[in-house]
Amino acid sequence: MISGVVVLMATSAVLAKDDALPKIDLEKQCRKTQVAADSLTGQKNPDAFDLCLRNEQSAREKLMERWGTIPAADKRSCIHSTDWSPSYFEWLGCIDTKVYVRTMRENNPFSMSSSKLCPTVTWQTNGSVSNVVACQLR
């Protein structure tokens, strides 16, 4: 019985570690941001690095606070630590957008059938799509 508990605890620890918010070298990323800002504007932007660092640290703190409540599907969809320029700020924006869209769909589950817009989409109460009626070509 005890060995089963130990195995379960060890497995949980591995899963928790694998599910951790990926670490980003913020100084490296923000230096890239500063170089890009300098290149785009054709002048030195001394505040770009500090602003980037503050925004990234703030976004990281918010993600850390919410990490346990973020659905796994949203994490898979939004968190890409090996992309060309990973960013806590971008990841947080993606997560917030997914939450907003899901909330809007849950609060407005009916289709826009009275609208002339197409396609017509009908939503389930959990926010998922239940039906799509394609546009009629004329």
Supply the pLDDT for residue 109: 64
Residue 123's φ and ψ, nearest 5 degrees, are -105, 145
Cβ atoms of residues 133 and 120 within 8 Å: yes
d(CA 64, CA 55): 14
Q: What is the mean pLDDT of residues 88-112?
A: 84
Q: Cα–Cα distances in Å, from 122 out to 21, 73, 135?
A: 34, 22, 14
Q: Is 36 exposed, middle or buried (0-12, 13-18, 19+ CB in 10 A)?
A: middle
pTM: 0.66
| pLDDT band (50, 70, 90) for residue 8 | very low
Domain ranges of the chain: 23-107, 109-138
Chain segment 48-84, per-residue pLDDT in tens: 899 999 999 999 999 999 999 999 999 999 998 887 6
d(CA 76, CA 59): 18
Chain segment 115-134, per-residue pLDDT in tens: 566 777 777 766 677 888 88
